[in-house]
Structure 1
Amino acid sequence: MLWTEDPHLYKALDMIKHTPRANLANRPKAYSYVRFSTPEQAKGDSFRRQTEAAEKYAALHGFEMDTKFTFHDLGKSAYRGGNVADGMLGEFLSYVKSGDVPQGSYLLVENLDRVSREAPRKALRTLEDIVDAGVNVVTLSDGRTYTQETLNQDTMMLFASIMYFARANEESATKARRLRDAWGNKRKNAAIKPLSALCPGWMRLRDDRTGFDLIPERADVVRRVFDMTLAGKGQHTIAETFNKEGVPVFGRGSHWHRTYIKKMLSDASTIGAFTPHRVETVGAKRQRIPTETVEGYFPAVVDREVFERVNALSSGRAVRESNSGGPANILAGLAKCPGCGSTMTRVNKGGKKGGRPYLVCTTAKAKGGCDYRHKVRIDGIEAAIIGNAGWLNASLPATDEALQSEWERATAADMAVGDEIELLVGAITKLGEQSSRALLDKLRQNEAAREGIQRTIADLERRIADTLTNRVQVTAAQFVDAAEAEQRDIALINATLRQLFTNVEVDWLSGRLRFHWKHAPGETTGITYAWAKEDA
């Protein structure tokens, strides 16, 4: 019987319910870590089972389940340590090190194999990293608690954990070996039987699954792309032409784009070739390694001579473009068009080397339906962001919506009272000795009211700071330091911005930048940038 079926559970819940609040406030924090390896498991019962088991254990032992953070690696394997290298278990360790997860807390997992399925030595190291950071690990299936003390003093528990990790690693290794052998056999037979139904957008798998057939109207579009390229048309021009003519897009896109044209021109499947890949893991990173190319795997849509001529042209263009230089884009990966929501990309006015850089909507640039007239100068945006770095840092929103709303109301009240004080001071100055006592009394009342409002704002800002993670605040401080440095590193500023914000709307109509905070969804901060005549 699992501990989750303990008949005393409800008695424990009742005890917690009647525990004085002062004692509840001192309860140890508990964090649930849920992991499973494949996306298909999300359709089953794994997530519910692991989550409910953690909640019941916390209730039974008087722990406070933390709801501020969630640590789920859904569809991520622990066989190569990916859940630590770039997953949420690694995030959990970073929160422990930053102090956002207090020492003495408990990490609740279903089994040790949820933590790691690496080789026993590496898996044990991951477990030790967690407990050495001051966090206890509980395995819910058997109710065992792993701490620094138990791993140091209980030799049997240490040996048991090593044996458990060894068994979990062997299970994963066996599965990986079988999958590798199966795909190896498929690759050997690729010349006579398709590996899968995956194919380029201009062809389809036959009903009997023995091969692929071209889709005539789409094949004509592919041939036209190659012909236009040989005729001297650029990729952007080809995409723009197709959008004007209403040529249907292959796949789920809404319009033709230069990058898709570029990919098509370099795709060897246009001449029928296919290169299978095998997946190898180096460290915790999965890498696709090309194997031997299979000629004639797909039906060819263009001649090899045409393909080689086009790619000889394209490689020359790529060399020229890569040496064009130009300043970095401070909003790279962040800038969004407020009209259609598409990414905004950097262009040089007139396309000349050393030209003035602008941001434009990618959909508009491809004539996909958005207004292309609006080009926004990057230098004005850069100056606004650097000049308002301190303001952005001061505007860090709370994760508590009610607290954030209270701060916004208090700030608005402070601005309103400030405006009224300015008007009163102006009136008193203008009247001089003829100024009435009523105006002076009103001024004193407003000044006293503003002092009270500002005390409230200061208190709210302290409470907001308490709701923010140390890591968010450290990142915001790094952004300010990078922006205020004598030798500014635009790439570094961009990197910190991408950690703080999900996107930045560049609203050319109002001359405003709207920053969407990553840690507080729905919260934005706006600043004004220099809006030049050329932007229209």
Structure 2
Amino acid sequence: MAKAYSYIRFSSPEQEKGDSTRRQTALSEQYATQHGLTLDDSLRMTDRGLSAYHGQHKTKGTLGAFLKLVEAGKIEKGSVLLVENMDRLSREQVLDALNQFTSIIKAGITLVTLQDGMTYSEESITRNWTQLIVSIAMMARAHEESATKAKRLSSAWKEKRARIHEQPMTAKTPGWICLSKDRAKFELIPEVAAAVKAIFRMKAGGKSTHMIERELNDNPKLWKPPQDGRNKAGGWRKSYIEKILRNRSVIGEFQPHMLIERKRQPIGEPIKDYFPPVIDSDLFHHVQGIIKANGKLLGRGGGRIGKATNLFTHLAKCGLCGGALHFVDKGKPPKGSQYLVCDIAKRLRACQAKPIRYDEFEQLFFQNFEELDITLLVPNNSELESQLDLLRMAVSANQQRLTELETEIVNLTDSIATTGDKRVRETLEKGLSHRYEELARIESENIDHAQEITALEQQRINLQANIDRAMELYGILDGAAEKDRIALRLRLQREIRSLVDRIDIYPLQEKYIEFEEVEPGIVKHMASKYIDKVRIRFKGSRKLRLLYLKRHAEIQ
């Protein structure tokens, strides 16, 4: 008994909700029974939501798998492929659809279109070639219908976009926005918008998403997402907060999308001022900078529990091996304390660095700021002017070259327009292309130079301002309440990250003796039980700040 294979396809979710699957399945079973065929359902040939117009059912669907089995000879000759209509098999351009059709027939497979009862096989087409003409006409009609529909949808979409500031393009909105009652404009949902604002303010304050999640859920005055199918418990989740923090809809932007091969793809440029904004663009971009900086550090915005207990996360390194110094809390004094521990020494035992008391280093770090002369870190006036002169000279040279290039481009363009020789034209076009590439490179170089000039001119001012801010925050920590201390430490952590590139701490490796006469008349003084020396690299400075905590002096 010959085998029959039923192929079912529908291109939209609406068809799946309707009668499409049941109808196509019933037709296949009825035909198989009437013609004594065994209906093989082992391949389960159903393509849901795949377009035959774009050929997705061949590249991603079960029909493509079936066709490969046909090509490999694994579907027996004489087998029957059952489809509701010719357009279920393909809506591609006629030549592509015909090629697929003939490859099936030539492989010895009989094709049956169930709705009109037509049977196509090599034998039937040889006997009655008009079948081929009829099938081509059906393929052409199917493609034309889909092409017309695609054009109509595209035209409607373009018309909607053209009127986008007069009428909302779609009823779909972010969770803090709704359509007005007359459906003519968008409106903020006040209580939800207030929660979104709070999210951005907390992130700008340096809080981690974990800490924001906890505070939002603990605050009875702030709106919380209700229970639904995806959020069964209700309340704020870290993943949703992270999506909001990156969503440009909060500043009023809308990015239109279209489904292309079952994936939402952005179409065109984002549309500004489409939604009512929740926050201003300055706050949004400030938060994006924080997220980007945290991403580079591969860390959390305030520690696992959001208390910023370690102000030097990702900055402090072991001076002996270069490994990261991790914060380890061994409980409260007097029995316990907090330490900076070399990761390589702890995990791999490949470094001899001893733990360093965290509180001692933190105090040392800020004491150093009080004594710091920033003129030792930034170039002096003559060095600065020398660097600026070199950069300005490079900009001037580039500007002259840009003028020359613009003249060359005009001349080459005129020559291309007047020459009739194809070979000469090709040579000139290559030369023109090279000029444009060089023009873009030099313009980019000048932008870099301009930014470097600005950075050098602002270097000393910015460095001093950052140090002053950090010292101010550190100075008010002791008198602050616990809740305020967390926020202050988070801000202080951010200031230190903006100020410092790297801190190398060299642990004291010998026994601590505060004063020791190492030879007659010479005494060694150890200022720390845990630290030998510290090396600090400030951002924007090529010089290092060195702190020695072990010194030798003559006895007076």
Q: TM-score, normalised by structure 1?
A: 0.50
Cα distance in 1, alignment partners of residues 83 and 278 from structure 2: 53
After superposition, give the CA deviation of every residue in 1:105-129 in whole Å (9 maximum; x if it has no partner): 2110111100010101111222234
Cα deviations by residue, 1:201-255 (Å, 9 ceiling, x for unpaired): 0121111001121112211111111111111112233234445558622664235
The correspondence for 2:273, drawn from 296, 305, 310, is 296
Give the Cα–Cα distance (whole angstroms) in 1 for the partners of residues 177 and 262 of structure 2.
32
Task: Determine the structure 1 residue equivalent to 2:85.
Answer: 111
- 1:39 and 2:19 equivalent? no
Please name the residue that 1:139 is paired with.
Answer: 113
Q: Which residue of 2 aligns with 1:257?
A: 237
Q: Which amino acid aligns with 1:179?
A: L
Q: Map of 1:9-158 to 2, 5 A cutoff?
A: 27-94=1-68, 96=70, 101-150=75-124, 155-158=129-132
- Name the residue aligned to 1:174: 148
Cα distance in 2 for partners of 1:150, 1:121 equals 21
1:202–1:289 CA distance, 2 compared to 1 (3 A): closer
Contact 1:191-1:294 within 8 A present in 2 as well: no
Structure 1 segments of 4+ aligned residues over 4 angstroms from their partners? 94-103, 148-154, 243-247, 284-287, 350-355
Q: State the Cα distance separating 1:104 from its structure 2 match.
A: 3.2
* Contact 2:83/2:114 (<8 A) preserved: yes
**Contact map agreement 2:252 2:272 (CA 8 A) in 1:** yes
5 Å-filtered alignment, 1:472-487, equals none
Q: 1:317 aligns with which of 294, 311, 316?
A: 294
CA distance in 2, matches of 1:216, 1:179: 35
Measured after TM superposition, the shift of residue 141 of structure 1 is 2.4
1:277 aligns with 2:257: yes
Superposition CA RMSD, Å: 3.2
- Runs (5+) with no aligned partner, structure 2: 300-312, 318-322, 325-556
Structure 1 position 178, deviation (Å): 0.8
- Please, which of 207, 210, 217 is the counterpart of residue 236 of structure 1? 210
The counterpart of 1:248, out of the listed 185, 205, 224, is: 224
2:68 and 2:215 map into 1 onto residues whose CA distance is 50
Q: Is the 8 A contact 2:50 2:262 kept in 1?
A: no
Which amino acid in structure 2 is aligned with residue 157 of structure 1? Q
Residues 254 and 272 in structure 2, CA contact (< 8 A), matched pair in contact too: yes
1:364-383 matched pairs, under 5 angstroms: none
Q: State how far apart, in whole Å, the 2-side matches of 1:100 and 1:351 are.
A: 59
Rounded Cα–Cα distance in structure 2 between residues aligned with 1:72 and 1:351: 53
Paired residue for 2:175? 201
Q: Is the 8 A contact 1:82 1:285 kept in 2?
A: no
* Partner Cα distance (1:111, 1:61) in 2: 18
Secondary structure (helix, strand or coil) at the match of 1:55 reads helix
Deviations 1:237-287 (A, max 9, x none): 3234445558622664235333322221121110111122355x5xx5766
Distance 1:132 1:240 in 2: 66
Residue aligning to 1:328: none
Distance in 1, matches of 2:57 and 2:98, equals 15
The C-alpha deviation readout for 1:170-192, integer Å capped at 9, x for no partner, is: 01111111111111111111112
- Aligned counterpart, 2:428: none
SS in 1 for 2:82: strand
Aligned to 1:215: 189
Instruction: Provide the TM-score with structure 2 as the length reference.
Output: 0.49
Relative to structure 2, which stretch is displaced further, 60-69 or 132-141?
132-141
Corresponding letter in the other structure for 2:253: A
User: Identity of counterpart residues, as a percentage?
Assistant: 42
Aligned to 2:306: none
AA aligned opposite 1:29: K
Return 100-109 or 47-56, whichever deviates more.
100-109
Q: Which residue of 1 aligns with 2:198?
A: 224
Residues in 2 aligned to 1:265 and 1:236: alpha-carbon distance in whole angstroms = 13
- State the secondary structure of the residue aligned to 2:285: helix
Asked whether the equivalents of residues 273 and 295 of structure 1 are also in contact (C-alpha less than 8 Å), the reply is: yes
**Alignment of structure 1 residues 311-460 onto 2, 5 Å:** 311-321=288-298
Any idea what SS the aligned residue of 1:233 has?
A: coil
Q: Which residue in 2 is equivalent to 1:183? A: 157
Give the distance between the partners of 1:151 and 1:83, measured in 2 at CA.
Answer: 26
How far does residue 81 in structure 1 lie from its aligned partner after superposition? 0.9
Query: Per-residue deviation at 1:195?
Result: 1.0
Instruction: Give the counterpart letter for 2:248 in structure 1.
Output: A
Letter in 2 for 1:267: N
Deviations 1:449-471 (A, max 9, x none): xxxxxxxxxxxxxxxxxxxxxxx
Cα distance change of structure 1 residues 224 and 152 upon mapping to structure 2, 3 Å threshold? farther
Residues 461-500 of structure 1 aligned to structure 2 (within 5 Å):
none
Q: Does structure 1 conserve the Cα–Cα contact (< 8 Å) formed by 2:77 and 2:109? A: yes
Measure, in 1, the Cα distance between the counterparts of 2:76 and 2:196: 59
Query: Counterpart in 2 of 1:164?
Result: 138
Shift, 1:97, TM fit:
6.0
2:257 touches 2:264 (CA, 8 Å); kept in 1?
A: no
Return the letter of the residue paired with 1:36. F
- For the residue of structure 2 that corresponds to 1:124, the secondary structure is helix
**Secondary structure of the equivalent of 2:7?**
strand
Query: Are the counterparts in 2 of residues 278 and 291 from structure 1 also a CA contact under 8 Å?
Result: no
2:2 and 2:37 in contact (8 A); partners too: yes
Separation in 1, partners of 2:295, 2:274: 28
- In 1: Cα distance, 2:288 partner to 2:254 partner: 17
- Output the CA distance in 1 between the equivalents of 2:21 and 2:257: 32
- Separation in 2, partners of 1:175, 1:292: 24
In structure 2, relative to structure 1, the CA distance for the partners of 1:265 and 1:287 (3 Å cut) is closer
CA drift at 1:64: 0.8
Question: Structure 1 CA distance, aligned partners of 2:296 and 2:270?
Answer: 26
> Aligned partner of 1:39: which letter?
P
Which residue identity does 2:291 align to in structure 1?
A: S
Q: Does the 8 Å CA contact 1:81/1:118 hold for their aligned counterparts?
A: yes
Offset at residue 95 of structure 1 (A): 5.3
Alpha-carbon distance in structure 1 between the residues aligned to 2:217 and 2:100: 53
* Higher Cα radius of gyration: 2
Task: Point out where structure 1 has 5 or more consecutive residues left out of the alignment.
Answer: 1-26, 323-349, 356-536
- Find the residue that maps to 1:138 and give its secondary structure: strand
8 Å Cα contact 1:105-1:134 kept in structure 2 = yes
CA displacement at 1:41 relative to structure 2: 2.6
